[in-house]
Chain A
Amino acid sequence: MVDAPKAWSGAPLGRGGTRFYEGLGLLGGVILAVMTLAVFVQVLMRFMGLAGIDGIDEVPRYLFVWLVMIGAAAAMHRAEHTRLEYFEQRFGPRGQAALTVLTNGIGTLLFLSLIRTSFVLVPNSQFQTSAGLGLPLGYVYAAVPVGALLILLPMAWRLIAALRALWPRPS
């Protein structure tokens, strides 16, 4: 039996949103490529007997935080985050819509909390610099609110779509 398509399971935020989040996936790919290059260059320089570049080991470590947030946002748009669907599928369409409202609503609160706490964390960490590159750490911590906002948008879209399915507008 094929389930009827659910209003909140389509591509969030329309065609523009799909293009934007596919672009984010590609941006994540570029970050991953730069991380690989930064690690590979260290190996290459060591094998060539050259002195390492100061702080180059910090490049992949700090980029990893950005990769995770950007990649997680792109995956959220495609609904690729692993989750247990077994119990949800036991419910009818209205029950599933209610569960989507609940899980996406609570999840939204988490990411809003991450954005709120970042208003304190990012400016404060801007006064700290990394040991090798002298990079203000605010640039690293900024990945959290930016990524949280990007993750939040498809979640909020699904939340609203599920709410509309629960309480359709009178035509």
Chain B
Amino acid sequence: MAETLLIVFVIFVVLGMPIGIALGVGALAAATLYPALNPIIIPTRFVGLLSDSFLLLAAPLFILAGNLAARGGVARAIIDLATVLVGRFRGGLAYVNIVDSMIFGGISGSAVADVSALGTFLIPQMVRKGYDKDFATILTISTAIMAPIVPPSIVAVVYAWMADESVAAIFAGGYLPGLLVGIGMAVPTFIIAKKRNYPKEPPPTRAQFMTALKNALPAIMIPAIIMGGILIGWFTPTEAAAVAVVYALVVPPIFYRELSWRDMPGIFADSARLSGVIGLIIGLVGAFGWVLTYSKFPFRVAEAIQSVAPTWWLFLLLVIFLYIFLGTFLTPTEIILVTVPVLLPGAQALGIHPIHFGMVCVIASAVGHITPPVGLCLFLGMAISGLPMEKLIRPLLPFLAAIVVVLILVAFVPETVLFIPRLLGFVQ
């Protein structure tokens, strides 16, 4: 039964069917071929999953908040702040790019929003100042993967919902790995900047520093409100997302004046369509997951994994390889939705903490954003810079290697994820 479902799903994904629909077709095939199942399970699970969880509402609301912030002038203020912070070093704008992505990821939660909002400013600016175009493009798309790692990450919300874990815990668990990815990106940047003698930005005066900080304050208040509100216990993650939407609607337009009321219908419609794409996958994964569970497939996989990978670290290594492979043709949310119900029982049986496992899954799935043939950020970077894919593959390698090294470090040292959630009392 589970085999039919998975074979049908994989065949239709390969043939080019949208992922969400392929999930539903797999479930329909299983329900048609096996009399024990009834196709009515598909709409029942669909509505049940989407309407039963208040937590899941955080996903469309964070998408909306991110879109509003991305088009509301927040990006420019953050670039100015990062420039006064790290611009003075050799290859200063490259470090600005890294710091920007770290801060902007804490606002948008989306790697794609990060590349669109920051790349359109930073790539031309870096090229004008003498940086190689392929380097500027690859750095922008590589650093964007911090967005799904640092809170508020939409992928982390989806994982927490699937694994029935605390969103606050997985959000808190994303800070150190996000920082490590940032440091990882800085290593090849340092070597390349030195080798190619990239320029430095003039050191800022005290007045310039204060102005940049003051201008960026309305923008950096967004992650502060989201995480502060959740950690203090003022809001649930869904409520924090709604507060972030209202804040992004009111405050940045007043300070930055880049968002007009005429832009609003388009932003809301874009967010609705993206929520529809993700929601259709979530709803149809309901019946898909139900068939898998009904046929005890996750437990069979857990048993098989324990025989192939009897230790937790070998298991995580296999998961990383699997996710990097799946990331070449699926988006992070899709990978999490399809694999977590199957892999989580195996991880728990090996004593891996679900928050640690979740963060490894989030980072490993995010790698797919930048790998060909269907890395969304890679395509966006190509569109912004006008460079073809073949010119970007070689410059991508050192950054990809840095991400994989950080990923392995995070997988093998659980405290890199669990330290902050433990400190805040989310994890025992």
Q: Hey, which bits of chain A sit against chain B, CB under 8 A?
A: 22, 25-33, 35-36, 39-40, 42-43, 57, 60-62, 64-65, 67-75, 78, 80-88, 99-100, 102-103, 106-107, 109-110, 113-114, 116-118, 120-121, 140-141, 143-144
At the interface, yes or no: B420 with Cβ under 8 Å from chain A?
A: no
CB atoms of B51 and A140 under 8 A apart: yes
Q: How far is the CA of A31 from the CA of B50 in the complex (A)?
A: 15
* Smallest CB-CB A-B distances: 10 pairs: A71-B276, A28-B272, A29-B268, A68-B279, A81-B18, A72-B276, A25-B269, A39-B242, A88-B16, A103-B17
**Given the complex of chains A and B, what is the CA–CA distance between A91 and B268 in angstroms?**
37
- CA A91 to CA B240, docked complex, whole Å: 47
Quick check: B16 and A121 within 8 Å, CB to CB? no
Central interface residue in A33, A100, A102, A118, by most chain B CB within 10 Å: A33
CB distance from B25 to the nearest CB of A (A): 5
Q: Which residues of B contact A22 (CB under 8 A)?
A: 269
Q: Which of B249-270 contact A (CB under 8 A)?
A: 265, 267-270
Kindly list chain A residues whose C-beta atoms are within 8 Å of the C-beta of B330.
82, 84
Instruction: Give A142's nearest chain B residue, CB to CB.
Output: B47
B411 to chain A minimum Cβ distance, whole angstroms, is 26
Minimum Cβ distance to chain B for residue A76 (Å) = 8
Which of B14, B15, B272, B374 interacts with A32 by CB under 8 Å?
B272
What range describes how many residues of B lie at the interface? 35 or more
Q: Are A110 and B28 in contact (CB under 8 A)?
A: yes
| 5 A–B contacts, CB within 8 A, in A order | A26-B269, A30-B268, A64-B50, A68-B279, A84-B330
Q: Which residues of B sit under 8 angstroms from A110, Cβ to Cβ?
A: 21, 24-25, 28, 42
Across the interface, which residues of A come within 8 angstroms of B64, CB to CB?
Answer: 32, 36
Q: What chain A residues lie within 8 Å of B220 (beta carbons)?
A: none
Let me know if B43 and A114 touch, CB within 8 A: yes
Q: Looking across the interface, which residue of chain A has its beta carbon closest to that of B242?
A: A39
Cross-chain contact B276 with A75 (CB below 8 angstroms) = yes
* Interchain CB contact under 8 A, A31 and B276: no
Partner of A29, one of B17, B243, B272: B272
Which A-chain residue is minimally distant from B238 (CB atoms)?
A39
Of the stretches B52-60, B86-94, B189-197, the one at the interface is B52-60
Please state if A82 and B18 are interface contacts (CB–CB under 8 Å). Answer: yes
**Interface membership of B40, Cβ < 8 A:** yes
User: Which A residues touch B21, using CB under 8 A?
Assistant: 81, 107, 110
* Pick from A28, A60, A118: contact of B57, CB under 8 Å: A60
Check A29/B51 contact, CB under 8 A, given A42-B239, A83-B18: no
Please pick, from A68, A74, A84, A120, the residue contacting B14 in the complex, using a CB distance under 8 A.
A84
User: Separation in Å of the A49 CB from the closest CB of chain B?
Assistant: 14
A73 to B275, CA, bound (A): 11
Other-chain contact of A113, B20, B28, B56, B245 (Cβ < 8 Å): B28
CB distance from B128 to the nearest CB of A (A): 29
Given contacts A68-B280, A83-B16, A86-B374, contact A25 B51 (CB under 8 A): no
Kindly provide the distance from the CB of A170 to the nearest chain B CB, expressed in whole angstroms: 29
Digit string of B137-159 for contact with A (CB within 8 Å is 1, else 0)? 00000000000000000000000
Chain B residues within 8 Å of A82, by CB? 18-19, 277, 330-331, 334
Nearest A residue (CB) for B229? A43
Hey, which chain B residues are within 8 Å of A28, CB to CB?
268-269, 272-273, 275-276
Docked Cα-Cα span, A36 to B271, in Å, equals: 12
Check B107 for interface membership: any CB of A closer than 8 A. Answer: no
Cα distance, A139 to B269, chains bound together (Å): 23
